[in-house]
A and B are shown apart, each in its own frame.
Chain A
Amino acid sequence: MRILQNIGMLTAFIAMTILSVPSALANESTTPLEQKLINKFTEANYSNKGADTCLMCHKKSPSVMAIFNTPHGDTNKGPMSGLQCEACHGPQGKHKGKNEPMLSFGDDISIEGRNSVCESCHTQEHTPFHDQACSDCHNIHQAELAAEQPQAQCASCHMQQASAEFKRSTHLDNLTCSDCHNPHEEAPLSVNDTCYSCHAEKRGPTLWEHSPVTEDCTTCHNPHGSVNDNLLNSRAPQLCQSCHNQAGHSGDIHNSLDGFTQGQSCMNCHSKIHGSNHPSGHLFEK
C-alpha cells in the first residue's frame, strides 16, 4: 500500500508539474477577461442612474431581482446604498448591449479577483484557507440557499465526510455541517466541547475518568458516520482491544460466542465506559 502510494504520488506530481509549466510560461498575469475588467476599473466609468440602469434589462431575471430580498439588497445600507450593482459587478462602461463584460464571479475570474470584491467589506475567510472563492459557498443573490441546503455547498469539496450520511450510523441524518462547524473560525482544539453542546451528560467530570474519553471523543467515535453502530471507529471488543489487549483478561482471544463478543461485548460488564460516579466504579462496571 505504501509503495503504491509513493509511486502514485510521484507520478501525480510529475503530471501536475508538466501540466502547470506551460500555463506558467504562457505569461498570463491575469485572464484575458480579467485584464479587460482591470481596464474598466481603471476607467471607472460608472453609470448615472445606478441599479435603475442595470434593471432596465435585467429586471426580468428572477435571480437578479432576488437580491432585493437579501441584506445586500437593502437600499439604506451596504452596497445598494452606494454604487449599487456596480459596487460588486464593476463600472458599467460600455456594457449596455453586451459590448463589454461585467464582473460575474465565474471561474473565468481568478479567486483573488473574485474575493477582492467581498473583502472590501467582509473580514472572514474559510479557515483554514484552501484557495476558495467566497462565491463557491455563498450565492449572494439568494438569501435562503445557504440556510436551506448548507450541506450542498460543503459537500462539493468535503465529499468523503458528506457521504457518511448514508452510513449505518451517522450524525448527518438530522444535523447539518454548520451545527458543529463554523467555516469562518479556527476549529476548537478541545473538540470535546463541540460534542458536549449536545451530549452534556458526557461532560462530567466523573469520579472515575476514562482517559481517552476526557481527551478526545474521536479516539473512539467518528462524528460524521461509521459502518459500526454508535459512530464507533470499530465495534467492541476490537475497538477496546486496540488499547486493552491484556487488561485483566490476560491471553484471551475473543473468537467464539461468549460474553466477550455477544450482547454489549466488553460493555456487558464495563457499562459505564464514559466514566463512573459510583464509589466502586473504578473499572466502569457501576
Chain B
Amino acid sequence: MKAKLTLVALAVLSANATAANFAVPQNIEKDYACKRCIAPEHSNTVGIMTEQRTHFDSQYGANADIRGKNYSIKAKNAGADNGHLKAIAHLGDVALELAYVNRRNLDDNDIGAERQQLSAVAKYQTQLITAFVKASSEDKQGQRISSVIDPKPTNYLEAIDHTTQVMNAGVRLHGNFWNIGLAAFNSDFTDNTGIDPDNTAQQASVKAGLNYGSTRLSMSASSGKMIQDEAIEQENSLVPIANFDGEVETLDYSARISSRFAGIKVAGFYRYSDRDNVSGEYEFFDAINTPIDSSKTRYGIDASYRLGSAKFSTGFEQNDRTRSDSDREETQENEIFARVDYRLAGFNSHIKVTSGERTGSQYRIDEDIFEKYYLADRDRINTELGLGYSHNNYGVNLQANIASDEYSNSSALKESDEASVNADAFYHFNELLTLNAYAGVQTIDSLEIYNTKISDEFTYFGFGLNQYQISEDIALGTSYTFSFSGSDTSVDSTEMGDYYQYQHLAEVHMDYRINARISTRVAYTYERHYDTSYANQPIEAINSLDDLNQNFTDHKLGVFFTIKL
C-alpha cells in the first residue's frame, strides 16, 4: 500500500511540476524587414436587400462593408427591421464611431416594441491609456397589455413611448502587469406618454487588475443613485406629497483572486451589493409606503487540480441576502460543487454535481399563511454531464442536466424538478459542404399547494446544410428548425386548457455570382407559427382583449444584391 501511494504521489508530482510555458520571450530582439507582411486586399462592397412577406410588412435595407485607411463603414440590413449601421473614423490615436441599431420585437398581434438607438463614441487609445466618451439615445415605441378595474377588470392595449438617454465616460491606464480604470454614467428615462414615472440614474465606478506571476487580482467598486421625482396624482386632499422625491443609493464592490501553483488552480471571490432606499415614508389614505432596503453578499472559493488527462475541481459558495419590510428579512444560501473533466485526444467529458441549501431568519407570518418561494428553505441538487467527440471532419456534443429543488413544507411552492438534454453534431463532407444538426428537450415539473401541478415542456430540433457549391458561380444552402414550448397546469386534478406554441422554420437560399463584381442571393423562408392560451377565452367577469392567439403562415422571399467597389 505504501509503495502504491508513493507511486501515485510521484505521478502526481511529475504530472504537474512542469506545466508547459510558452510565454513570448521578452529578451530576444529582432529587427525584421518584413516584405511579405501585407494585408490581403479587402473587397469593399455595398448592397441592397428586400424581403417580401405574405404575412408581415415587406422590408428594404442597405448593406455595406467598406474599409479605408482611416475609416470603415459597416451596414447590415440598415433600414429594415433589426438592421444596424456603424461608421468609424480613425484620426491617429483617436477613433470616432457613430452607430444606429434597430431592434424590433412585435408579435402577430402587434404587442411588443421597436427600439431605435443612435450612439456616438469618441475613443482615445495608446499603449498606456484608453479613454472614451459615449452618448446614446434610444426611442422605444409599441404597445403592451394593461388592465384597469372599471368597474370590472378591463384589459386594454397601452401605448409605449419611451426615450432613454445615456452618457458614459471612462479612462483606463494599463501597464504590463496591471490596469486601473474609472468610469461613470448618467441615464435619463422619459416616458413620453406619462404613464411610467420618469427617472434618472448615475453611477461612478473604479476597476483595477493586477497580475503577479500566475496570480491575478481584480477589484471593482461602484456607487450610484436612482432618482424618481415625478408628480403624485392628487386624487383627494389627503395625499401628503406633491412629488415623490424618491431616491435609492447603491454601493457595489467585488474582488477576485486566482492563482496557480504546483498544478493547482485556486480562486476566491467576494462580492457585496447594497440598495439603500432613502425615499420618504408617508401616510396615505390606505397604507404607509415603506421603502425597501436590501443587501447581498456572495463569496466563495474553488480549486482545480489536473491529474494527467483528468481535472478535478471543487468549490464552495455562500450567498446571503437581507431585505427590509419582508416576511423573512435574512436568507442564507450555501452551495458546494464537485466536477471532473476528462479529455483524451478528440474526446472530452465532464460531470458536475452541485448541492445547495437555503435557510434564513425567523418568518414573520401567521401560521395559516404559506411561505414565499424565494424566501423559503430550499434544498437544491443539480447534476450536469457533458460528452463530446470531435475529429477532423465530424464532431458531436451532448449535455444533460438534472436538477431538483425541494422547498420546506410550509412553502407555497413545494418542489421543482428539471431535466434537459441538448445535443449537436457536424459533419464536413468536403471543404464546401457542412451539415450540422441540433436537438434538445427540457422538462420542468413543479408542485404547488392545493395540488397544483405545472409541467413545462420544451423541444426543438433542426439541421443546416451549408454551403453546397454546385458550380463556380452558384452555391446552395438550407436549414430547418422545429420548436415546441408548452406548459400544462392541473389544479387539484382539474386540467387547465391549452397553453402551447410551436414553430416550423425552413429556409433555402442560393448565392449566384453574376459577374466578378456583382453577386446576388435569393432566399425563401417558410414559417408556420401557432400560439394558443386558454386564458384568451372571453368570460363574463372581465373584459379581456380580443383573440390573442397567433396562428399564421408566412412566406418570405428575400433578394440581396452585392456589388464590389
Contact = CB atoms under 8 A, between A and B. Distances in A.
B236 to A, nearest CB: 8
B19 A110 contact: yes
Interface stretch (B54-62, B145-153, B470-478, B555-563): B145-153
A165 B71 CA distance: 34
Contacts of A128: 267, 269, 302
B310 A131 contact: no
A34 B15 CA distance: 13
B37 A262 contact: no
B381 interface: yes
Nearest to B12: A24
B228 A206 contact: yes
Interface in B54-84: 82
Given A16-B342, A110-B20, A156-B397, A46 B309 contact: no
A245 B33 contact: no
Interface in B331-371: 338, 340-346, 349, 351, 353, 368-370
A264 to B, nearest CB: 5
Interface string A50-84: 11100110010010011011000101010110111
Interface in B148-199: 148-149, 152-153, 155, 162, 164, 177, 179, 187, 189, 191, 196-197, 199
Given A20-B309, A245-B370, A189 B272 contact: yes
Interface residues of B, number: 178
Interface in B530-565: 531, 533-537, 539, 541-542, 544-545
Interface residues on A, range: 35 or more
Nearest to B294: A215
Interface stretch (B44-52, B398-406, B512-520): B398-406
A166 to B, nearest CB: 4
Contacts of A278: 232-233, 235
A241 B412 contact: yes
A interface SS class: loop
Contacts of B374: 212, 215-216, 219, 243
A129 B458 contact: no
A261 B448 CA distance: 16
B20 A38 contact: yes
B34 interface: yes
Interface string B475-489: 000000101011101
Interface of A: 1-2, 4-5, 8-9, 12-13, 16-17, 19-20, 23-30, 34, 37-38, 41, 44, 46, 49-52, 55-56, 59, 62, 65-66, 68-69, 73, 75, 77, 79-80, 82-84, 87-88, 90, 103, 107-110, 112-114, 116-117, 119-121, 123, 125, 127-129, 131, 156, 159-160, 163, 166-168, 173-175, 185-186, 188-190, 193, 196, 198, 200-201, 203-209, 211-212, 214-216, 219, 226-229, 234-235, 238, 241-246, 253-259, 261-265, 267-269, 271, 277-280, 282, 285
Given A44-B28, A59-B36, A263-B544, 19 more contacts: A12-B340, A24-B309, A27-B14, A29-B16, A51-B37, A52-B32, A160-B420, A166-B483, A167-B458, A203-B201, A207-B244, A211-B325, A214-B292, A227-B501, A235-B535, A242-B372, A261-B535, A279-B234, A280-B235
